[in-house]
Amino acid sequence: MTSSRTIRLAFSPDSDDIFMFWPLLTGKIDTEGLTFVSERADTETLNARAERADVDVLAMSIARYSTVSESYLLLPHGASVGRGYGPVVVAPKAMPEAALAGKRIGIPGLRTTAYLVLRLLAQPFEPVVLPISPYARVFEALRGGEVDAALLIHEGRLTYEREGFEKILDIGEGWAKLTGGLPLPLGGNAIRRGLGKELVAQVSRLCQQSIAWALGHRDEVIDALLAAETRTEVSLDRPMLDRYLSMYANEDTRGMPDDAKRAVVELFDRAKAAGLMAANAIVEFAP
């Protein structure tokens, strides 16, 4: 099928998102007559944008998908999945996990999967939303005593040690213990139902081809991402980028395996049981 149509993408500034879409946006694969345009915004902004349903392919938190499934299908590829690891709660000084109860904890957004899972794992705490852009904001809040601890996503979970903070809890580890070893599905790409069945299938296929190309030409894509990186405060170098992509742009990204799909359903079920998600929330994957 060949179409003459513009497809709008929106995804975050973090490296795994641009890694998967870079081939699609730079002419590395045949787009079959479709034109892909993109915009980037922080995770919570994207989660808020989902309500408008005006983006064709939108990166969002799995937790957020539960509220917009009438407008979007989850793509069965492009997911960020942690296997025994995930976002981390850090603090200026070491403390036991139990000490997080009642503390002010900086979170990346009220709609994020990380916040939802932390609520499932930890005793009640006071959430304080700290935007993930600019990158240094959360570390400044920790140093200034605005929060007692902070939940870090994206590259921040790799840099907290060099910033002088201590890990209190890895929610990917906690989720695995809670669920008997399931991976933690953090984010995914969703596609707008309004595109129609044929176009949904075509765009899904092209997105998967883009991911496959990136994985097959990993060094070339890493070179391009490092050359184009504008977040100077992240101090992203090749070893860090390589490590980060190994965690969140890998074979689980190429195509969600059965255990990752089961983990999405498990997350919904546990959140519903805890009263943290609407009882009628559904999970539906695109082709």
Which amino acids are annotated catalytic? Answer: 154
Alpha-carbon separation of residue 194 from 31, 70, 246 (angstroms): 20, 10, 34
Q: Let me know: does 108 contact 151? Beta carbons within 8 Å.
A: yes
Q: Which tokens go with 105?
A: 């904890």
DSSP one-letter string for 98-149: GGGTT-EEEES-TT-HHHHHHHHHS---EEEE--SSSTTHHHHHHHTTS-SE
Name the pairing type of β-strands 57-61 and 184-192.
antiparallel
191: which residues sit within 8 A by CB, 6+ positions away?
56, 57, 58, 72, 73, 75, 200, 203, 204, 286
Q: Which tokens go with 79?
A: 């997911």
Q: Is 183 exposed, middle or buried (0-12, 13-18, 19+ CB in 10 A)?
A: buried
Q: Let me know: does 126 contact 105? Beta carbons within 8 Å.
A: yes
